[in-house]
Structure formats: structure tokens, C-alpha cells
Amino acid sequence: MWPSTNREDVKSLISLIGGFRKFYADCFPLIVNKEVTEYQWNGYLENPEEWTEAEYYGDTVELESISPLDFVSIVDIRYKDKTICSKVLWGIPNANGSNSWFHNCPFRIDLLNYAARDDDSESEVILTVSDGLPPITSMEKERKDGKLWKELRDGLRLSWIVVNRKVKQAANLASWSPLGGQRHWPTDKDFVIRFGSVLPAKDILPCQVVECILIMKFRVVNTEGEGVETTLKLTELSMQLEDMEGAHVNGRNSLLILKEALSCRRSKNYSEVLESCHLYSKVQSELKEEKMRNESRIDRLCILSGIAAFVTFWYYIL
């Protein structure tokens, strides 16, 4: 299930945190967070300027006890029950030093850029017809019937396990199956698949809950023709955290959230996992609608105030 755990350094890590039985018990069930509704109107629509620094940036004292070097990412991708990619990333890139720019910049891990140097196999990740992809004769035909897109979306599985060596905890932050995706973005030959989970951010961010977004992107490099078969190349495999408004969480808060995520509630019931993710999306949409209504009301009030001032002005003039 996790070929990346066959590496000797990963075996040693798993032994360090309690052994394979504990690792399996922690990482096979997926994260479930049904507390989203409790946080949806928890002062989140208030003016951000009124938030204190502690509310926005989190507990600085606790942050000092967290080292980016404590975190290890163990990642495996499967397509139709065949492993096509295994990566291990030790630490969090560009997070050295307590005053690093990392703490205030948007958090993002691009696994293909950073894990290759530690991986036994640095070859490109390629999918072809021999792996089960349907042959396509042209991208124009694919845009119409979407056969390749459907096979890719239905066949891909992602496991992204994060381990904290210091506290000896681990959790799988992926949703295993895709939560969504986008065809032909940003070009006609690109396919974006989205996985993820909903993580608690209580006492870390005002929204109290965030989404861990895992993006996998494939590009069509060949299509069926004379002696050429359909070929897809993995061009992106990344992680980032976003708050309820879709803003990227900075490095400082991301470290705190990742630490808390490793003690999240989990479930082997996949429908419960999906329900948790869909609930987040529903609340997020409602929040955006409420914000738009509030902004619309403010705009109307400004217009009415302007009209009233204009009328008052001319009343006294005349």
C-alpha cells in the first residue's frame, strides 16, 4: 500500500515512532472534521484589522517548540492499483531559521522539486496506455468526450502521510480519492486533480478550520498517432493550506496546524471522510455569499449616504 516505507531510512523512522502496527493504525484511517459548522460564524466576518497579533499569528511560544526538521512527508501515488510514484521528503523546504521569510510567506510544498534529491528513483513519472490509459487520437476529441479525464480521475489514488518525529505522531492528510479537479487548465493539455482534508485551526486562526489542498497535475505529452501512444507526465505534486476565504496560510501558522492535525479524529468510513470535505465546501460557499451580501449592503449604504449629502448640500444652496 505504501511502497515508500520499504526504504531503510523510512523503516527506521517508523520504528522510532512506535512500529508498523501503530503507523498503520494512525495512517490508514483518514482525517474527519465535522466541527466546521461550529466555527462558520464565529466572528470570522468581523473586520480583520480588529484581530490581535496573537489571534492572527498564533502562539509564538508554542511555535518555538516546533522545528520544520521534525516533519517528514511520505507520499505514494497509485493508478489502477499500480504504484506510479513514491517520494519521501525530510523536513520542510526553505524553513530554516526562526526569523526566516518562510514564517510570513504563503506555505507551500512542491514535492517534485524537493524530494527528488533524496529519492532512489529520480526518473520522470509517466503514464501510458500500458498502464491502463485509454488511447486518444487528438485533444479536440478529448475535449468533447472527456474519456481520458474520466479514467484519470477515477483511477488515481494519493496517500500523503506527514510524520512528526519529535512527538512521534503521524497522519494521512490526503483524501485517498480525488475531491475534484479541472480539465485543460491552464492549457488544453493539462489535467489538475485535487485531493485534501479539513484540518482544525482552533486558537491558531480566526476561522478555526482550514483546508489542506493537495494538487496533482498531469500534462499530455503525446497522443495516439503513427507509432505514438497516449502519454501523460506528472508535472506537479504540491501541498498548501487555505483558510475559509481561500487565502493561503503562512508558514508560521501552517507549522502549528500540521502539528495539531496529527492528533485529529480519523475514520475508516470513506463516506464520512467525503461528508467532512463536502461540509467544509458548503460552509465556505455560504460564508462567501454572506460576505458578498454584507459588502452589497455597505455599498448601498454608501450610495444612500452620498445621495443624502448631495440633497442636503443643494437644499442649503437653494
Q: Tell me the C-alpha to C-alpha distance, in Å, between residue 296 and each of 42, 291, 301.
A: 21, 9, 9
Least confident stretch, 6-20, 118-132, 176-190, 231-245: 118-132
Q: Element (H or E) spanning 110, and its range?
A: strand 108-110
Query: What pLDDT is recorded for position 102?
Result: 83
Continuous segment of H or E residues that includes residue 296: helix 270-317
pLDDT of residue 262: 93
pLDDT confidence band for 135 (50 / 70 / 90)? confident
Instruction: Give the integer Cα–Cα distance in Å for 141 and 147.
Output: 9
Q: List residues bridging with 191 in a β-sheet.
A: 183, 218
CB 206 within 8 A of CB 55: yes
pLDDT tens per residue across span 168-179:
999 999 999 999
Q: How far from 13 is each of 7, 68, 71, 89, 258, CA to CA, in Å?
A: 10, 16, 11, 12, 18
CA-to-CA dists, residue 5 to 90, 91, 178, 233, angstroms: 13, 17, 23, 24
- Per cent of the chain over pLDDT 70 is 75
Instruction: Give the three-class secondary structure for 187.
Output: coil
The residues spanned by each domain of the chain are: 3-317
Which of 18, 151, 7, 135 lies closest to 73, judged by CA?
7
pLDDT bin (cut points 50, 70, 90) of residue 74 is very high
Tens digit of each residue's pLDDT (9 = 90 or more) over 41-63:
444 444 444 545 455 544 455 56
> What one-letter code names the amino acid at 195?
F
CA distances from 177 to 28, 153, 277 (A): 13, 8, 12
Q: What is the pTM of this model?
A: 0.82
Sign for the CA dihedral angle at 56, 62, 67, 72 comes to: negative
Residue 103 three-state SS: helix
Q: What's the pLDDT at 306?
A: 65
* Interatomic CA distance for residues 142 and 146, integer angstroms: 5
Max avg pLDDT among 47-51, 108-112, 133-137, 170-174: 170-174
pLDDT of 23 strictly over 50 = yes
Using pLDDT thresholds of 50, 70 and 90, give the confidence band for residue 193: very high
Q: Is 49 helix (H, G, I), strand (E, B) or coil?
A: helix
